[in-house]
Amino acid sequence: MQQQFIVVRQHTENICRPLELEDYVVQPVADASPPKWHLAHTTWFWEEFILSKYANGYKRFHPRYAFLFNSYYDSVGERVLRLHRGNMSRPTVAEIMEYRAYVTEKMTHLLTDMPPEVQGLIDIGINHEQQHQELLYTDIKYILGHNPLFPVYDTNFAEQSTAPVPTEAFVHIPEGLYTIGYTGKAFSFDNEHAVHQQHLGAFSISTGLVTNGEYLEFMNAGGYDNPLLWHSDGWSWVKEKQVISPLYWHKIDGQWHRYSLSGLEFVNPEHPVTHISFYEAAAFAEWRGMRLPTEYEWEAASERFTWGQRWEHTNSAYLPYPGYRKPPGAVGEYNGKFMINQMVLRGASVATPELHSRKTYRNFFHPGLQWQFNGIRLCKK
């Protein structure tokens, strides 16, 4: 456990190594947090939930850091509003790295003689930091991708992990009763429980993801101009935001380009489309005369296709499973409080930590957000 903790802490810092100092504080939009904040918040988590309660004589690194780096735990105390995270030029990046080193050292010492009751919190803390590692990639891309210079983050970062599978291939899933939820013995989040049975009618699901080329056909056919394809909220979103393409797409000299973490590139028609909202995914499915799968259908069919390149939109609202019980205390705010007004994504992406790529993992975002590495898998009866 100690070694796993150290590896995870180091990896968070490694993700930030390609950045310039000026990149650490930028917050172009409220949904994307500055890298400096991620480095500090993932440190505050260990300090707040473990060290302050279980390390004898622990002295907080700074008395005001809890106010600066609490994310959304209302039961813990007041905090800086999310949209103001980029306004904090102080503490400096150097001071945040000192904070990380201090907490990592104290945690490493605690893990040499860990109280048994802390085991569950350690697991949550490790998985929490890994979630922020993925958010770091998406937020860094948003920061650099909105810079007119389109700066390169890492020339070796591949946003396409495997050869694409044609979306024309569909697999049939028979009607039946399917087990939904996590049944293993390793770590899982509370929102993956309770395990339950779900009856599904017969359906067919694509073995591949929608490609850039297919999405370009939708765009060229006037998909963003046809209100009949969109949910009412989605159509309002298109008009208000003036959306005409996936996020990070730019038409330069008559050709579509896209910004990736390895730099600006031509849109490859064979690669899976990414950085699209639920609204766009649903409109595309409507245009194709198909639909998005429910999260239950996706889980039931997941062993019949490969995934891991893009988080995949589902047509399911993020709600508790039957029998779900929110954990007591502040940890109960981790997932349960967000079970409203959001949609479920399933699968994983090129930015997802390996152990978070499981068929029961439930990701969730508001339907108008595009900055996640997400894509489309179609479904039909």
Q: Is the pTM of this model over 0.75?
A: yes
For the record, the structure tokens of 309 come out as 């390149």
Q: How many residues are recorded in the chain?
A: 381
| 151, amino acid identity | P
- 246 with 310: CB under 8 angstroms? no
Neighbours of 145 (CB within 10 A): 22
Q: How many whole angstroms separate alpha carbon 64 and alpha carbon 326?
A: 29
75/330 Cα distance (integer angstroms): 6
Rounded CA-CA distance 343/150 in Å is 30
Assigned CATH for 2-145? 1.20.120
Contact 157, 261 (CB under 8 A): yes
| DSSP strand pairing (203-206 vs 170-173) | antiparallel
289: left (phi over 0), alpha (psi -120 to 50) or beta: left
The domain at 170-246+272-380 falls in which architecture? Alpha-Beta Complex (3.90)
Contact 35, 19 (CB under 8 A): yes
Packed helices 35-46 and 119-145: angle between N→C axes, nearest 10 degrees = 170
Give, for all 381 residues of the chain, the pLDDT tens digit.
899 999 999 999 999 999 999 999 999 999 999 999 999 999 999 999 999 999 999 999 999 999 999 999 988 999 999 999 999 999 999 999 999 999 999 999 999 988 888 999 999 999 999 999 999 999 999 999 999 999 999 999 999 877 777 777 999 999 999 999 999 999 999 999 999 999 999 999 999 999 999 999 999 999 999 999 999 999 999 999 999 999 999 999 999 999 999 999 999 999 999 999 999 999 999 999 999 999 999 999 999 998 989 999 999 999 999 999 988 888 888 889 999 999 999 999 999 998 899 999 999 999 999 999 999 999 998
Q: Is 301 helix (H, G, I), strand (E, B) or coil?
A: helix
Contact 104, 42 (CB under 8 A): no
Concatenated DSSP letters of 81-123: -GGGGGG---S-HHHHHHHHHHHHHHHHHHHTT--GGGHHHHH
Pairwise CA distance, residues 135 & 155, whole Å: 19
Same fold, 2-145 and 170-246+272-380: no
Largest CA distance in the chain: 66
Strands (E), the chain: 170-173, 176-180, 196-200, 203-206, 249-252, 255-260, 263-266, 311-317, 343-347, 363-365, 374-375, 379-380
Domain residue ranges of the chain, discontinuous segments joined by +? 2-145, 170-246+272-380
DSSP code, position 244: -
Interatomic CA distance for residues 298 and 377, integer angstroms: 9
**Angle at the Cα of 234 (from 344 to 274), degrees rounded to 5?**
55
